[in-house]
Amino acid sequence: MVSRPVKFSIQGLHVHYGELCVLRELSLEILANEIFTVIGPANSGKTTFLHSLNRLIDLAPGSRVSGRILLDGDDIRLRLEKENLRRKVGIVFALPLPLPLSIYENIVYGLRMQGVRDRAVLDEAVERSLRESYLWEEVKDRLRSPAMNLSGGQQQRLCMARILAGRPDVLLFDEPTSGLDPISTARIEETLLELKERYTIVLVTNNVAQAARVGDRTAFFLMGEMVEVSETGRMFTAPADPRTSDYITGKFG
């Protein structure tokens, strides 16, 4: 594997909801320009981990976080304002959530909120982000039509474009293909493989085959702990822990 710099360094991360510990003693590194996949059964802490990376976890009632998360060497709780962090680290959720606006206005919404008014700048962001999400050729002639008219797979790629318009460094994906048909799923996966040339990607998925197809490295979570992390090919052919093997082969989960 090509040597890459560390993008995220997670050190002794613990997350509680009230008295319930949902992540414990988590330490790992995520490298720049890789697709880092996280697998594991329900309630293993995968989404909590993802939300910790851009501090969405702070919005959860009763959440408490300890340990350190460094982004490019900066502690995200001590050195980065939440708004700046979330511009750097965008997230795409399981269900596409387009705004009840046109395709164009969906993409520029965040830029307008940041005070961008120059039409040329907005137009450039729309075309660039739609090209990066491989949606431009499908929608370039109907940018003013409602985003809700798009198919489910197109809506998910539109949500990706909306994040990409703000030029983030990291893209977080929480089960982005869980409600999509196989053709739309394949298109999303192809897009992820292209995007990693320019972005660091963290993908949470319950689909172990998807992790095998797109992941450079994979972490297996179980009951709030990381069982192991390794190059994806190695994990799927020679996992270090029997629990990982049992999960991958469908004996539980």
Q: How far is CA 128 from the centre of its chain?
A: 20
Cα–Cα dist 34/197, whole Å: 8
Cα–Cα dist 9/71, whole Å: 7
pLDDT of residue 184: 92
Rounded mean pLDDT of the chain? 95
pLDDT of residue 2: 56
Q: What is the CA radius of gyration of the chain?
A: 18
What is the average pLDDT across 54-83? Answer: 95
Question: At which residue do the structure tokens 């680290």 appear?
Answer: 89
For residue 192, what pLDDT band results from cuts at 50, 70 and 90? Answer: very high
Whole-prediction pTM value?
Answer: 0.95
Among the listed residues 216, 219, 213, 204, the one whose alpha carbon sits nearest the alpha carbon of residue 174: 204
> Quick one: DSSP state of residue 59?
G
Q: List the domains of the chain with CATH numbers.
A: 6-248 (3.40.50.300)
Q: How far is CA 142 from the centre of its chain?
A: 28
pLDDT of residue 179: 85
Residue 1 has pLDDT above 60, yes or no: no
Cα–Cα dist 133/120, whole Å: 20
pLDDT of residue 3: 78
For residue 146, what pLDDT band results from cuts at 50, 70 and 90? Answer: very high
List, for residues 226-253, the tens digit of each pLDDT value: 999 999 999 999 999 999 999 999 988 7
Q: What is the 3-state secondary structure (H, E, C) of 136-196?
A: HHHHCCCCCCEHHHCCHHHHHHHHHHHHHCCCCCEEEEECCCCCCCHHHHHHHHHHHHHHC
Distances (CA, A) of 253 to 3, 113, 192: 33, 41, 25
